[in-house]
Structure formats: structure tokens, C-alpha cells
Structure 1
Amino acid sequence: MSWWIIGLIALGTFGFRISGPVLRDRIHLSPRAVRMLGLGATALLVSLAATQAVYSGDGFAGWARVLGVAVAGVLIWRRAPFVVIVVGAATVTALLRLAGVT
């Protein structure tokens, strides 16, 4: 990859990053639009997490990982502390793998 392409990508990234503070007072969105933008970001993160939970490389990641992520989702829904969520998901995944569930 040429250096000028890397520089162009860096300038584009900087432009996107600086446009928020520069345009904050010039562009006014409706409360509904602001809410939809927040929901869109949430949907993007959830879809990324779901994809990473189900696939590993070129194939299915296995039921142990999927069920571990499902346990994490339930713990998040129940508003458990972050450490409990991580340890709970890891414990379920490890126990299932120990039991032979792949």
C-alpha cells in the first residue's frame, strides 16, 4: 500500500473525527433522530458481538461459546456487575468444553 493512500485514509479519519465538535452547534437533529442514532450504534455493537459469538474463522464457533455468550446476555439483562458477567460467561463456557460440548 502506498504512503499517500495511508495519508489519505488518515486525513479522512481525522475529518470524520473533527466534524463532530465543529458541526455540533450548526446541525440540529430532532430528538427522535438522536434517539435513532443511539439505537443504531447499539444495534451495530450487538450484531458484531453476535457474529463473534457464533463464528470463529470460517465456521461455527461451537455451542459452548454461544451458550456462554447467552449466559452473559442474561446476566447483563439482570444488571449483574461486570466481573460477575465475565466470570459467569467464562465459567459456563469452560464447564461445557470440559464436558465435551464443542
Structure 2
Amino acid sequence: MLLVVSIAVLAVGTFAFRFAGPALRSRITFPPQVTKLLETASVVLLAALVVTSGLMEDGVLAGVARPTGVLVGGLLAWYKAPFAVAVVGAAGTAAVLRLFGLP
């Protein structure tokens, strides 16, 4: 029962956040400096997430294959490859490196 209640609370909270964005967009304005800061902060947060999940596994370095796969996926995305191509390229790179015995 606790699990169902937790899921319901999270679902309502997620819906509230998603609804609040468009509903409050025209009512709240930020100064241009704050808007630029928020845009930069979102990029930095996403980059930190990629670096953390791409380089670490269980609190230690993940080896060579995973960071190389993340690098290949990032390069493909940088060169505007379709999302599926970037994901398959990253996964394929990591898989081939692991096939050759690299961790």
C-alpha cells in the first residue's frame, strides 16, 4: 500500500510541476541575467550527470570501455547524428572494447 501511495504522490507532483511551467510562464518574468544563468546551470548540471554516470560505477572509475562509449556518443551528437545512431554508436563502441577485454 505504501508503494502505491508513494507512486501516486510522485505522479501528482510530477503533473503539478509539468502544469506549473506553461501556466506560470506568462505571469513570472526573470531578468535577462537570471535567464542566462539558469540556461547555463542546466547545461552544467546535464554535463555533470553525463560525466558522473559515464566515468563512475559503484563509486570507482568504470574502466576504459564506458567512457570511450560516452565520448563516441557525445561526438556523434555533436555532429548532429540522429539520437538512435548516437546511442547505438556509444553502446557498440563500449561492447567492442569489452569484447577485446578492456574493462
* TM-score range normalised by the length of the shorter chain: 0.7 to 0.9
Structure 2 residue aligned with 1:35: 36
Structure 1 residue aligned with 2:82: 81
Structure 2 residue aligned with 1:52: 53
Output the CA distance in 2 between the equivalents of 1:13 and 1:80.
31
Output the CA distance in 1 between the equivalents of 2:17 and 2:93.
41
SS in 2 for 1:62: coil
Deviation at 1:48, TM superposition (A): 0.8
Deviation at 1:22, TM superposition (A): 6.4
Letter of the aligned partner of 2:58 in structure 1? G
Number of aligned pairs? Answer: 100
Deviation at 1:27, TM superposition (A): 3.6
- TM-score with structure 2 setting the length: 0.74
Deviation at 1:58, TM superposition (A): 2.4
Change (3 A) 1:18 1:57: same
Structure 2 residue aligned with 1:100: 101
SS in 2 for 1:65: helix
Output the CA distance in 1 between the equivalents of 2:44 and 2:92.
27
Q: Which runs of 5+ in 1 are unaligned?
A: 1-11
Structure 2 residue aligned with 1:8: none
Deviation at 1:98, TM superposition (A): 0.5
How many percent of aligned residue pairs carry the same amino acid? 45
Deviation at 1:19, TM superposition (A): 6.2
Deviation at 1:83, TM superposition (A): 0.8
Q: Which runs of 4+ in 1 moved over 2 A?
A: 12-28
Letter of the aligned partner of 1:101 in structure 2? L
- TM-score with structure 1 setting the length: 0.74
